[in-house]
Structure 1
């Protein structure tokens, strides 16, 4: 809501003040955001699996299954990044003073 009432945001005035929306870049940006979240979750799952392995909580069969699953997920992520023309760096959001979101693999 604006102070002007009516519930509409004010429009930019004058030539050249329009927002350029490119459907292709919006799709790529959305894909990058979704893949960033998936990559973050993949890294967290991998770290948790390593902790469980180190703690001795998993059977040999379960370790093998987890390894195959994580490798398949990483391969699929590579395919999706390639499909959308994204590099691993494109998914690593800079959090300013906190540093990058994703850890290097």
Structure 2
């Protein structure tokens, strides 16, 4: 592992934001499944939608703060491929 004192903050932010992005995408998929199966009331659907939009906006702000692009959060797992689905 190559640690550079000049980029340690950005690298740590990249790792944390990658984990948060993975969780955000999983939550979004779960919410869509619950909407499709009719498990949620209209109020719950709206609250989840607003929450996910706010989280996505905040993620964009944090990426901008650390000079990261969305694709920077998609860690390459070698033979397993990328961590996050492409296009999300």
CA separation of 1:49 and 1:85: change in aligned 2, threshold 3 A? same
CA deviations 1:47-67 (Å, max 9, x no partner) are 000010011100001000000
2:83 is matched with 101
Structure with higher RCO (Cα < 8 A, 6+ apart): 2
Tell me the TM-score normalised to structure 1 length: 0.78
Structure number with higher helix proportion: 2
- Unaligned runs of 5+ residues in structure 2 are none
Give the distance between the partners of 1:22 and 1:33, measured in 2 at CA: 15
1:50 maps to 2:32: yes
2:7 is matched with 25
1:71 maps to 2:47: no
- How much has 1:98 moved relative to structure 2? 1.4
Tell me the TM-score normalised to structure 2 length: 0.92
SS at structure 1 position matched to 2:54: helix
Moved over 2 A (4+): 20-24
Which structure is larger by alpha-carbon Rg, 1 or 2? 1
